[in-house]
Structure 1
Amino acid sequence: MTGGDVRQWTPAGWCVLFSCDVISYGDARRTDEVQEFLREGMYRALEASFTHVGIPFGDLYLEDRGDGVISAVPAEHDPALLVTAVFDGMKVRVKRRNRLASEVAQMRLRAAVHLGVARYDGRGLVGTDVNHLCRLLDAPAFKDAIRDSDAPVALIASERFYDDVIRKDIGVIDVEEYHRLHVSFKETSCPAWIRIPPTTSIPTPP
């Protein structure tokens, strides 16, 4: 899959919101060809990771954002999957891809998750919860936190997602891997929770 908008389902209420982008996508060393290669790698990692856990990629609302995507997942899917199997699958696949990529084409992803209300207005996603998700992903504090890390994927979760999913899912999610971070960006000032995994040897997924 190479990207584009998927419109088999469009959100009109409560859903799981997810976004990710390629870190340093606009680096001056990255030619158009490299950027296209990065986008292809991002989409492949996303599609494989969602599909592997039983969430068909066609079930998602997916909106292309150039260097990333914003998506909505129907509420019937377990939101815990996004911060467990989907996240871990992305991490494995990005790391495996980077073993075969040149230095300038090395890919790292920044991801955000939130629970809220979203609506498709015929052109794209709208809603205050959509805005909140985007503020989390783009927050300077989040970017600062991952600047010195070489983790293939880093995650920021909204306080609502943390309280309703991460903190309550003891036994499946390792809460100790999350650290509190204050986000202050544009109209947003709030706590959030980040997970930046250490760079370790990761097994190849089935």
Structure 2
Amino acid sequence: MTADTAAPWTPTGWCHLFSCDVISYGDARRTDEVQGFLRDNMYRALEASFTHARIPYGDIYVEDRGDGVIAAVPSGHDPALLVTAVFDGLKAHVKRRNRLASEIAQMRLRAAVHLGVARHDGRGLVGTDVNHLCRLLDAPSFKELVGRSPAPVCLIASERFYDDVIRKDVGVIDVEEYHHLQVSLKETDCPAWVRRP
């Protein structure tokens, strides 16, 4: 590494956590080629959406999870952007791409946001807040709600994110767009908040 090349940022404490995955990624009708197409589109959508939100994609830590990603955003950025500009950018990008894709290659995303502590141990992100984010995304109650919605992107927020960011925001976030959802999965039993489609 040259002296003027900075090492990429990795989480070492408090940060904003974002995760998303492709709904029905493993559908038997989705060949390897289709899955590759979906992953490529997911990454393009993420990069475009963070750029749209004026959060440089190179400033965030992104970890691949096969059919999805976990992203950690440095705490210097406004967390409200995750549920406004990033979410709106994702939704627009997915809708635009889906208009050009065959039915089996159309993409829908589940997304989750949380605030907390994450650390990179040299192999990936670790921490109870990372676990919590993943459980929000995988919660059966959230998956059931998503299954009934035609929305291209469905969003769940942790109680901490709701209390510290959504409920306290003035003007940018419409708190009326969110409704309570109980999450029960493994050792997790807690309230969360879902953005209405």
Counterpart check, 1:69 vs 2:69: yes
Distance (Å, rounded) in 2 between the aligned partners of 1:127 and 1:183: 19
For residue 146 of structure 1, report the CA deviation from its aligned partner. Answer: 1.1
- Structure 2 equivalent of residue 131 of structure 1: 131
- Structure 1 equivalent of residue 113 of structure 2: 113
CA distance 1:133–1:85, shift in 2 (3 Å): same
- Write out per-residue CA displacement over residues 156-184 of structure 1, whole angstroms, 9 at most, x where no aligned residue: 00000000000000311011110100000
Unaligned 5+ residue runs, structure 2? 1-6
For residue 68 of structure 1, report the CA deviation from its aligned partner. Answer: 0.2
For residue 196 of structure 1, report the CA deviation from its aligned partner. Answer: 3.5
Counterpart check, 1:60 vs 2:54: no
- Write out per-residue CA displacement over residues 56-78 of structure 1, whole angstroms, 9 at most, x where no aligned residue: 11111110000000010000000
- Structure 2 equivalent of residue 189 of structure 1: 189
- Write out per-residue CA displacement over residues 73-93 of structure 1, whole angstroms, 9 at most, x where no aligned residue: 000000000000110000001
The letter for the 2-side match of 1:67 is: D
The letter for the 2-side match of 1:171 is: G
For residue 53 of structure 1, report the CA deviation from its aligned partner. Answer: 1.6
- Write out per-residue CA displacement over residues 23-66 of structure 1, whole angstroms, 9 at most, x where no aligned residue: 00000000000000000010001000101121111111110000
Query: RMSD between aligned alpha carbons?
Result: 0.8
Query: Could you state the TM-score of these two structures normalised by the residue count of structure 2?
Result: 0.96
Alignment size in residue pairs: 191
Query: Could you state the TM-score of these two structures normalised by the residue count of structure 1?
Result: 0.91
- Structure 2 equivalent of residue 10 of structure 1: 10
Distance (Å, rounded) in 2 between the aligned partners of 1:125 and 1:196: 29
Distance (Å, rounded) in 2 between the aligned partners of 1:103 and 1:118: 37
Distance (Å, rounded) in 2 between the aligned partners of 1:128 and 1:37: 32
Distance (Å, rounded) in 2 between the aligned partners of 1:52 and 1:178: 23
Q: What are the within-5 Å matches in structure 2 for residues 31-50 of structure 1?
A: 31-50=31-50
Distance (Å, rounded) in 2 between the aligned partners of 1:170 and 1:188: 30
- Structure 1 equivalent of residue 3 of structure 2: none
Runs of 4+ in 1 over 6 A off after TM superposition: none
Distance (Å, rounded) in 1 between the aligned partners of 2:161 and 2:52: 22
Q: What are the within-5 Å matches in structure 2 for residues 82-101 of structure 1?
A: 82-101=82-101
Unaligned 5+ residue runs, structure 1? 1-6, 198-206
Q: 1:182, 1:192 within 8 Å by CA — same for their partners in 2?
A: yes
